Amino acid sequence: MSTSRATMIEFDNVHKYYGDYHALRGISARINGGEFFSLLGPSGCGKTTLLRTIAGFEDISSGAVMIDGRHMENVPANKRPTNMVFQSYAIFPHLSVAENVGFGLRRDPRSRAEKARAVEEALEMVGLKGYGARAAHALSGGQRQRVALARALILKPKVLLLDEPLSALDRKIREQMQVELIKLQREVGITFVLVTHDQEEALVMSDRIAVMFEGEIAQLADPETLYRRPNSRRVAEFIGVMNFLPCQVTGEAGGHIQLEVAGLGQVEIEPAQAPGVTRGGPASVGMRPETLTILYEGQQAGGREAPGVVEEVVYYGDMTYYDVRLDGLDHSVRISMRNVFGRPVLDIGTRTRVAWSPGALVLFR
Ligand SMILES: Nc1ncnc2c1ncn2[C@@H]1O[C@H](COP(=O)(O)OP(=O)(O)OP(=O)(O)O)[C@@H](O)[C@H]1O
Ligand SMILES: [Mg+2]
């Protein structure tokens, strides 16, 4: 978690054009010192471009980028307090691991012995203690990415920029590296800015996330807020699974918003559950699969419940996903249930009751 709260990076209305193509469309945001910050969005939305404006690899067309209180206009990449780790670990295969890690220290005035110690320390940080003499080409993908990390960290940047650093790794190693990166970031306290198009990776790793679409930040928030209170249908669809039910906004009373929702009936929600919805009329409500619960015989809802029929069952071992068509709805909703020892998985066609809670709904236009 972050130790220092002062602003480390500030974007002030940043625009970037490639010819006529408007790649960044008025980005304004602050990244705190010591924060693990992610840029998340689909391919082509401008994540790498924004990251490169921090590094100084990309000139901006208008606006300003500040790092640690300093304007970066006219500050070349090699004079910025940043370092970048790329997706394709650009290490030198013909050099040893230690030579790769120490590469950036070529012009450092410290003695050979001191530099060797710094290399050892950096290797230890990334879990490669004792690998210094190994030829870099004789490493696995995960190990090469660690070398690239060590090479960036040894220069002690204030900001480490990571452009999809884990995307070339297979799932198991990627998940292991995610945990190691979080630990490492906490240890060194450096500001990390990670680019990823993997929403799960962003949720797992980040203090805060900026979700980008088409050169704009659609929402900037901590993982839980993004997941529970997405501010638009598009953000909701991009992060995790969301069920949408058509509804009508019928009125407002006592600070609550009143809805008539297909399959659920009349519902009252809080204004905080309706970001950006100000008027009555047609809208839709979103519900995450884990906020819905299948009720077994004799079980009470404790809140509201709706009847329906199981249309699809996907068994994952620890979890089962059910698609249930609620009465009065022309499509099914997805429900995730943790499997419990001794409780049967329901068959397709089973009539069931579904518990749901008004507090878990989010309203979208
Ligand atoms: N040098 C360039 N010249 C012209 N257009 C470019 C250039 N670099 C990027 N673009 C365009 O700008 C947009 C944003 O590119 P960017 O690389 O930032 O996307 P991204 O979000 O990192 O995508 P991905 O997830 O695929 O890496 C894309 O439409 C891309 O084609
Ligand atoms: Mg990219």
pLDDT value at residue 89: 63
Question: What string of DSSP letters covers 137-161?
Answer: GGS-HHHHHHHHHHHHHTT--SEEE
Residue owning the nearest CA to atom 3 of ligand 1: 18
Give 218-227 pLDDT, tens digit per residue. Answer: 999 999 999 9
Q: Which ligand is nearest to the CA of 163?
A: 2
Is 258 in contact with 285 (CB distance < 8 Å)? no
2 belongs to a structural domain: no
Q: Please indicate, yes or no, whether residues 217 and 350 belong to a single structural domain of this protein.
A: no
Q: Which residues line ligand 1 (CB under 6 A)?
A: 18, 21, 23, 41, 43-49, 197
Residue owning the nearest CA to atom 31 of ligand 1: 44
Confidence band, pLDDT 50/70/90 cuts, at residue 167: confident
Measure 76 CA to ligand 2 centroid, in angstroms.
21
Q: Which helix (H) or strand (E) holds 357?
A: none
Q: Please indicate, yes or no, whether residues 119 and 25 belong to a single structural domain of this protein.
A: yes
Helices (H) and strands (E) in the chain, counts: 8, 20
338 belongs to a structural domain: yes
Ligand 1 atom showing the smallest separation from residue 46 Cα: 18
Containing structural domain, residue 310: 241-364
Measure 58 CA to ligand 2 centroid, in angstroms.
13
Last residue of a domain, one of 218, 235, 252: 235
Q: Which ligand is nearest to the CA of 52?
A: 1
Ligand 1 atom showing the smallest separation from residue 42 Cα: 25
Alpha-carbon span 14 to 65, nearest angstrom: 7
Question: What string of DSSP letters covers 38-54?
Answer: EEE-STTSSHHHHHHHH
Q: Greater confidence, 189 or 203?
A: 203
327 belongs to a structural domain: yes
Q: What is the dihedral of CA 30, 164, 171, 228, to 10 degrees?
A: 30
Give 57-71 pLDDT, tens digit per residue. Answer: 999 999 999 999 999
Confidence band, pLDDT 50/70/90 cuts, at residue 199: very high
231 belongs to a structural domain: yes
**What SS3 string covers 229-296?**
CCCCHHHHHHCCCCEEEEEEEEEEECCEEEEEECCCEEEEECHHHCCCCCCCEEEEEEECHHHCEEEC
Q: What is the mean predicted confidence (pLDDT) over 201-212? A: 96
Please count the structural domains in the chain. Answer: 2
Q: pLDDT at residue 6 above 70?
A: yes
Gyration radius of the chain's alpha carbons = 25
Q: Please indicate, yes or no, whether residues 231 and 316 belong to a single structural domain of this protein.
A: no
Alpha-carbon span 198 to 103, nearest angstrom: 31
Q: Which residues pair with 338 in a beta bridge?
A: 319
Alpha-carbon span 274 to 231, nearest angstrom: 8
Is 245 in contact with 262 (CB distance < 8 Å)? yes
Q: What is the mean predicted confidence (pLDDT) over 330-354? A: 95
Residue owning the nearest CA to atom 9 of ligand 1: 49
Ligand 1 atom showing the smallest separation from residue 164 Cα: 27
Spatial neighbors of 238 by CB under 8 A, at least 6 apart, are: 40, 41, 42, 199, 211, 213
Last residue of a domain, one of 179, 200, 235: 235
pLDDT value at residue 87: 67
Measure 43 CA to ligand 1 centroid, in angstroms.
8
Q: What is the mean predicted confidence (pLDDT) over 76-97? A: 87
Is 257 in contact with 271 (CB distance < 8 Å)? yes
Alpha-carbon span 235 to 226, nearest angstrom: 8
Confidence band, pLDDT 50/70/90 cuts, at residue 170: confident
Q: Please indicate, yes or no, whether residues 101 and 161 belong to a single structural domain of this protein.
A: yes
Pocket test for ligand 1, best of 18, 86, 197 (most atoms within 8 A of CB): 18
Alpha-carbon span 75 to 77, nearest angstrom: 7
- HSE of 245 in the Cβ direction (CA atoms, 13 Å)? 27
Q: Which ligand is nearest to the CA of 59?
A: 1
Q: Greater confidence, 211 or 103?
A: 211
- Largest interatomic CA distance in the chain: 77
Q: Please indicate, yes or no, whether residues 258 and 339 belong to a single structural domain of this protein.
A: yes
Q: Is the dihedral of CA 94, 80, 34, 65 positive or negative?
A: negative
Say which amino acid occupies 93. Answer: P
Q: Please indicate, yes or no, whether residues 75 and 141 belong to a single structural domain of this protein.
A: yes
Pocket test for ligand 1, best of 15, 49, 212, 213 (most atoms within 8 A of CB): 49
Q: What is the mean predicted confidence (pLDDT) over 263-284? A: 88
339 class by beta-carbon count within 10 Å (0-12 exposed, 13-18 middle, 19+ buried)? middle
Q: Please indicate, yes or no, whether residues 26 and 156 belong to a single structural domain of this protein.
A: yes
Q: Please indicate, yes or no, whether residues 358 and 286 belong to a single structural domain of this protein.
A: yes
Confidence band, pLDDT 50/70/90 cuts, at residue 44: very high
Is 295 in contact with 355 (CB distance < 8 Å)? yes
Q: pLDDT at residue 1 above 50?
A: no
Q: pLDDT at residue 4 above 70?
A: no
Share the mean pLDDT of the chain. Answer: 92
Residue owning the nearest CA to atom 29 of ligand 1: 44
Q: Greater confidence, 339 or 280?
A: 339
Q: What is the mean predicted confidence (pLDDT) over 254-270? A: 93
CATH of the domain at 145: 3.40.50.300
Per DSSP, 135 falls in state B
Please give the structure tokens belonging to residue 285: 């409500």
Q: Please indicate, yes or no, whether residues 67 and 88 belong to a single structural domain of this protein.
A: yes
Q: Please indicate, yes or no, whether residues 37 and 115 belong to a single structural domain of this protein.
A: yes
1 belongs to a structural domain: no
CATH of the domain at 308: 2.40.50.140
Q: pLDDT at residue 114 above 60?
A: yes
Q: Please indicate, yes or no, whether residues 117 and 70 belong to a single structural domain of this protein.
A: yes
Q: Which ligand is nearest to the CA of 215?
A: 1
Residue owning the nearest CA to atom 17 of ligand 1: 48
229 belongs to a structural domain: yes
Q: What is the mean predicted confidence (pLDDT) over 139-160? A: 88
Measure 41 CA to ligand 2 centroid, in angstroms.
9
Q: Which ligand is nearest to the CA of 44?
A: 1
112 belongs to a structural domain: yes
Per DSSP, 259 falls in state E
Spatial neighbors of 11 by CB under 8 A, at least 6 apart, are: 27, 28, 29, 30, 50, 53, 63, 64, 65
Give 289-324 pLDDT, tens digit per residue. Answer: 999 999 998 888 788 999 999 999 999 999 999 999
Please give the structure tokens belonging to residue 356: 């749901």
Q: Please indicate, yes or no, whether residues 113 and 201 belong to a single structural domain of this protein.
A: yes
Please give the structure tokens belonging to residue 4: 């220092």
pLDDT value at residue 115: 93
Q: Lowest-confidence range among 204-208, 251-255, 355-359?
A: 251-255
Q: What is the mean predicted confidence (pLDDT) over 175-192? A: 89
Please give the structure tokens belonging to residue 304: 């509201």
Q: pLDDT at residue 5 above 80?
A: no
Measure 62 CA to ligand 1 centroid, in angstroms.
18
Last residue of a domain, one of 178, 204, 235: 235
Ligand 1 atom showing the smallest separation from residue 212 Cα: 21
178 belongs to a structural domain: yes
* φ/ψ of residue 143, rounded to 5: -70, -40
